[in-house]
Amino acid sequence: MTLYLQSLKMHFKSLLEYKSSFIIGFLSQFLVFFTYYFIIIALFDKFDNVKGFTLYEVLLTFAIIQFGYAFNEVFARGIDKFDRLIINGSFDLLLLRPQKILLQVLCSEINYIKLSRLLQAIIVLIIAIVNLNLDWNIYKIITLILMLISSIIIFLAIFLLMASYCFLTVQGLEVRNVFTDGGKNLAQYPIGIFNKYFVIIFTFIIPYAFVNYYPLLFILGRLENKILIFSPLVVLLYLFISFKTFKWGMKKYTSTGS
Partner 1 sequence: MSFINVENISKTFKVAQRKSGLKATLKSFFKRKYFYIEAVKNISFQIEKGDIVGYIGPNGAGKSTTIKMLSGILLPDQGKIEINNMIPALDRQKYVANIGVVFGQRSQLWWDLPALDSFDLLKNIYKLKDDQYQKTIQELIGLLELDNIVQIPVRQLSLGQRMRCEIAASLIHNPSILFLDEPTIGLDATSKQIVRNFIKRINKERKTTIILTTHDMNDIEALAKRIILIGKGQVLYDGTIKHLKQKYGNYCNVIVTTKNILKTTNKKGIISKEKITDGYIFKIDINQITVSEFLKYLATKVKVDDVEINNESIDDLIIKLYKEFEI
Which residues contribute to the site for partner 1 (CB under 8 A)? Answer: 2-3, 6-7, 10, 13-14, 17-18, 89-90, 92-93, 95-100, 254-257
When the beta carbons of 3 and 132 are compared against partner 1, the nearer one is 3
CB of 14 to partner 1, least distance (A): 4
When the beta carbons of 195 and 254 are compared against partner 1, the nearer one is 254
When the beta carbons of 104 and 242 are compared against partner 1, the nearer one is 104
When the beta carbons of 24 and 168 are compared against partner 1, the nearer one is 168
Between CA 154 and CA 210 the distance in angstroms is 10
When the beta carbons of 66 and 104 are compared against partner 1, the nearer one is 104
CB of 25 to partner 1, least distance (A): 15
For residue 117, CA distances in Å to 37, 87, 236 come to: 12, 28, 24
When the beta carbons of 97 and 222 are compared against partner 1, the nearer one is 97
Q: Which residues contact 72 (CB under 8 A, 6 or more apart)?
A: 79, 80, 152, 155, 156, 159
CB of 50 to partner 1, least distance (A): 39
For residue 240, CA distances in Å to 106, 154, 237, 244 come to: 17, 11, 5, 6
Rg (CA), the chain: 19
Between CA 144 and CA 64 the distance in angstroms is 9
10 Å CB burial of residue 173 (0-12, 13-18, 19+) is: middle
Between CA 227 and CA 198 the distance in angstroms is 23
CB of 183 to partner 1, least distance (A): 24
CB of 256 to partner 1, least distance (A): 7
Total residue count of the chain as it appears in this document: 258
CB of 17 to partner 1, least distance (A): 5
Between CA 240 and CA 247 the distance in angstroms is 11
When the beta carbons of 169 and 225 are compared against partner 1, the nearer one is 169
CB of 20 to partner 1, least distance (A): 15
SS3 54: strand
SS3 232: helix
Stated as kind and residue range, the H or E segment containing 191 is none
